[in-house]
Amino acid sequence: MTAPTPAPDRRRILSGIQPTADSFHLGNYLGAVSRWVPMQDSADAFYMIADLHAITVEQDPAVLRHRTRVAAAQLLAVGLDPAKCTLFVQSQVPEHAELAWILGCLTGFGEAGRMTQFKDKSSKVGAERASVGLFTYPVLQAADILLYRANAVPVGEDQRQHLELTRVLAQRFNARYGPTLTVPEPEMVKGIAKIFDLQNPTAKMSKSADSQAGVIDLLEDPKSLRKKVRSAVTDSGHEVAIDPENKPGVTNLLVIYSALTGRSMEDIAAQYGDSGYGGLKVDLAEVVVEWATPIQERTRAYLEDPAALDSVLAAGARRAREVAAATMADVRERTGFLVGTSLMGTA
Ligand code: TYM
């Protein structure tokens, strides 16, 4: 495998996804993953399967290992090309945990406690059952980004607060120890940065939703996809129009339709007009099936050869480690640790 060779002026980007479900959902795809594909051509891109983040909640080891490969297969199936980007698994690069510790020592307890995702997730299970890992999740995410000195991070809207913390921690490290880390920018695309649940169109589509009836999975069978789209909750009235305030359900369907076909929302709304919501849903169901089917076929093909997948990931981890190790050498030195090849080996 040839390692990607970035031109010196290309932006560095990093993003990640957790292997916590049997399939990515449409929110993951539109909010993040679909944008990773074109970025591998224009940037020096690092894409990571965040298995260390996954274990902040309980995971069955065999299931986690399987889902990590399924995540890799899906990423390749949507178009990531290991010759153009660095695709790797977080736990295969030990520097993530090391930098997370150092950044954790720069993070205020109250500051971490204000993270809304932690508050939401921990309130579901209660303080005794919420892990310390869940609490420090955003610090590990900051380490992921800062290790690669990423300039930009393509993610969905729900990650905004974590990215803000990442920026603060980079600035704090630099102010205390001297310029070392790059302060990254979030990259969100208005409209698709937050895809809503089809049954509950004011809540984001989420793999941890109580019911999966409104969550569209990439690897779901066509019959189930059609059923979910056709039974999407729409709003009172019957006119198909873009109106996030009063018609969140229909507007969400228009966003999805537009993102998957490349047609403008206005154009689609005009096509269905006041003919009712039924036609829109029936046609969108077909659009969704047409989008998912080829990706499903490619995902299955990649999964037939786990050894080949593992070797793609191993090559990605080697390339990621080169970059991560260089950053960590600077960070260790700046932090005041004893460094030098006789002490540290050849990192
Ligand atoms: P995860 O696996 O929860 O989500 C992966 C990506 O999908 C986006 N997303 C959505 N976008 C639009 N609408 C939705 N309904 C929706 N649901 C999810 C998320 O914003 C995310 O971009 N913490 C990260 C994983 C991570 C990471 C990182 C990301 C770990 N380290 C470093 C960037 C940089 C997450 O929530 O993954």
Question: Over the chain, what is the mean pLDDT?
Answer: 94
**Mean pLDDT, residues 56-84:** 98
Give me the sign of the Cα torsion angle 303, 289, 155, 62: negative
Confidence label for 59 from pLDDT (cuts 50, 70 and 90): very high
Q: Which amino acid is at 173?
A: F
Residue 5, pLDDT above cutoff 80:
no
CA 154 to ligand 1: nearest atom: 22
pLDDT of residue 7: 52
Does 281 participate in catalysis according to the annotation?
A: no
pLDDT of residue 190: 87
Cβ neighbours for 121, distance < 8 A, ≥ 6 positions apart: 57, 130, 134, 208
Q: How far is the CA of 138 from the centre of ligand 1 (A)?
A: 12
Give the number of other Cβ atoms within 10 Å of residue 322's Cβ: 12
pLDDT of residue 104: 98
Structural tokens at position 270 = 């005009």
Cβ neighbours for 82, distance < 8 A, ≥ 6 positions apart: 1, 76, 312, 315, 316
d(CA 139, CA 113) in angstroms, rounded, equals 11
**Percent of the chain topping pLDDT 70:** 95
pLDDT of residue 8: 47
Largest distance between two CA atoms of the chain: 75
Q: How far is the CA of 17 from the centre of ligand 1 (A)?
A: 6
CA atoms within 13 A on the CB side of 137: 25
Does 207 participate in catalysis according to the annotation?
A: yes
Regarding the beta carbon of 56 and ligand 1, being less than 6 Å apart is answered no
CA 50 to ligand 1: nearest atom: 30
**Mean pLDDT, residues 281-296:** 98
Least confident window among 1-15, 140-154, 315-329? 1-15
Does 121 participate in catalysis according to the annotation?
A: yes
What is the model's pTM? 0.95
pLDDT of residue 72: 98
Cβ neighbours for 116, distance < 8 A, ≥ 6 positions apart: 161
**Mean pLDDT, residues 161-172:** 98
CA atoms within 13 A on the CB side of 300: 9
Regarding the beta carbon of 241 and ligand 1, being less than 6 Å apart is answered no
**Mean pLDDT, residues 304-308:** 97
**Mean pLDDT, residues 48-76:** 98
d(CA 130, CA 56) in angstroms, rounded, equals 8
d(CA 111, CA 115) in angstroms, rounded, equals 7
**Mean pLDDT, residues 40-55:** 97
Which is catalytic among the residues 121, 228, 247, 281? Answer: 121
Closest CA to 90 of 126, 143, 168: 143
pLDDT of residue 10: 81
Which residue among 12, 15, 17, 35 has the greatest number of ligand 1 atoms within 8 angstroms of its CB, and so is best to mutate? 17
> Using CA positions, which residue lies closest to atom 26 of ligand 1?
16
Residue 225, pLDDT above cutoff 90:
yes
**Mean pLDDT, residues 183-187:** 95
CB–CB of 151/184 below 8 Å?
yes
Q: How far is the CA of 258 from the centre of ligand 1 (A)?
A: 21
Structural tokens at position 21 = 């479900």
Least confident window among 123-127, 181-185, 307-311, 327-331? 123-127
Which is catalytic among the residues 119, 124, 194, 204? Answer: 204
Residue whose structure tokens are 């060779």: 5
- pLDDT tens digits, one per residue of 121-152: 999 888 889 999 999 999 999 999 999 999 99
pLDDT of residue 329: 97
Residue 44, pLDDT above cutoff 60:
yes
CA 193 to ligand 1: nearest atom: 12
